[in-house]
């Protein structure tokens, strides 16, 4: 469709942390740094790992817990080094079909919510069943990139 796409993602490992009781913006900031320390060597093997994209944030309606995640690079998917920070964990996300809406600019929590609402409306109007109680935000760019930025919101297909 012109305003969204349906993607099939394979099972993959992500390194994640959950930040509780903060605003989404603050949770993203705290979560990013916890995960950044992990890839900079705060793991069992004291191994530096390449930064990957996207950085995702799980947003559940009516909830102030946010799960922030980095994709584990392909070369570490089989055996990612275990985090040494007890707040950081490796998770395996099962294969899934996702409805994805992309947009540019600097994404704020408000902008992500607006784009998620627009995607949800479109999916409902087209009779596409999806899990409405949560969505993921996905950011692909460094904060230093000023132009041609790429952001997404994801809903899981039912």
Sequential pLDDT tens for the chain (158 residues): 789 999 999 999 999 999 999 999 999 999 999 999 999 999 999 999 999 999 999 999 999 999 999 999 999 999 999 999 999 999 999 999 999 999 999 999 999 999 999 999 999 999 999 999 999 999 999 888 999 999 999 999 99
Q: Which residues pair with 102 in a beta bridge?
A: 152
CA angle 69, 73, 77 (to 5 degrees): 95
Give the whole-angstrom CA distance, residue 41 versus residue 145: 25
Residues in the chain: 158
The CATH architecture assigned to 3-154 reads Alpha-Beta Barrel (3.20)
Domains in the chain: boundaries:
3-154
The pTM of the whole model exceeds 0.85: yes
Return all residues near 14 (Cβ < 8 A) that are at least 6 apart.
56, 69, 70, 71, 72, 90, 91, 92, 93
């Amino acid at each position: 469709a012109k305003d969204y796409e349906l993607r099939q993602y394979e099972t993959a490992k992500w390194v994640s942390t959950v930040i509780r009781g903060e605003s989404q913006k603050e949770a993203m900031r705290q979560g990013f740094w916890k995960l950044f320390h992990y890839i900079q060597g705060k793991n069992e093997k004291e191994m530096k790992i390449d930064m990957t994209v996207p950085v995702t944030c799980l947003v559940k309606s009516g909830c102030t817990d946010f799960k922030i995640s980095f994709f584990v690079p392909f070369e570490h998917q089989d055996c990612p080094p275990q985090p040494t920070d007890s707040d950081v964990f490796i998770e395996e996300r099962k294969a899934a079909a996702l409805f994805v809406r992309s947009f540019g600019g600097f994404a704020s929590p408000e902008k992500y919510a607006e784009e998620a609402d627009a995607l949800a409306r479109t999916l409902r109007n087209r009779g596409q069943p999806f899990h409405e109680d949560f969505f993921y935000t996905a950011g692909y760019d460094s904060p230093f990139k000023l132009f041609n930025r790429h952001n997404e919101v994801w809903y899981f297909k039912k």
